[in-house]
Amino acid sequence: MDIKANLEAVKKTFNNQNCLLVAVSKTKPLEDLKVAYAAGIRDFGENKVQELQAKQPEMPADVNWHMIGHLQSNKVKYIAPFVHLIHGVDSFKLLREINKQGKKIERKIPVLLQMHIAEEESKFGFDAAELNEMLSNPDFLNLTHVTIQGLMGMATFTENTDQVRKEFRGLKALFEELKSRQLPSFVQLKDISMGMSGDYLIAQEEGSTMVRIGSAIFGGRG
């Protein structure tokens, strides 16, 4: 697996060079992350708290650590001090816990709200009604130690690119609609995290600002 060559090949296909590449290094050994780092990558994505905690001290301090997986409330405290961005916030409960942990260490923690855009039941995320319910909850205004900097979504795992495009387009439309609303100042919508190895080009065409790419860089995860 030539990680450096893969990175260059992936980057070359980007149709938006300003789109941030988050290298998804879950399950991969530190040597692989170090090769990517040497090739210029500073943003790494992991989906397990334990693995993130183990890798973080072993890598240079200027790495931006992205928590991209489903996050349990009781594990927020372990990553709160150093996490760069939590992509998968899918409940008000989790958001409140992140806020609580941020308050303890006097840090505003950057997050994205994960929206359920796929057809599969199994993918996490808010639906539109749940999102509206949270945004109109008076307690929402009391959040002081989070910054909501955008949305995240995962498309259906399918060969049907029209469907994938439609799902990404829906997420972008929601993002624009939210931007037009009056929301508290800790909501600063600038990012849409969408696109993985199999669909990042479509995601970029539909307005992604961050793609989370694992296997196209590091190879399959077995």
Using CB under 6 A as the criterion, which residues of the chain lie in contact with ligand PLP when the complex forms?
Answer: 24, 26, 47, 68-69, 154, 196-198, 212-216
Nearer of residues 65 and 140 to ligand PLP, judged by Cβ: 65
Residue type, 181: R
| Alpha carbon distance 97, 185 (integer Å) | 19
Q: How far apart are CB 166 and ligand PLP at their closest, in Å?
A: 19
Tracing tokens 């690119």 back to the chain, one arrives at 161
Nearest-approach distance from CB 100 to ligand PLP, in angstroms = 24
CB of 220 to ligand PLP, least distance (A): 8
Cβ 189 to ligand PLP shortest distance, Å: 20
Q: Based on CB atoms, which residue is closest to ligand PLP, 28 or 96?
A: 28
User: In the bound complex, which residue of the shown chain has the CB atom lying closest to ligand PLP?
Assistant: 214
**Exposed (0-12), middle (13-18) or buried (19+): which is 32, by Cβ within 10 Å?**
middle
Return the half-sphere exposure (C-beta side, CA atoms, 13 A cut-off) of residue 182: 1
Question: Closest CB to ligand PLP among 68 and 187?
Answer: 68
Place of tokens 């296997």: 215
Q: At 12, which amino acid appears? A: K
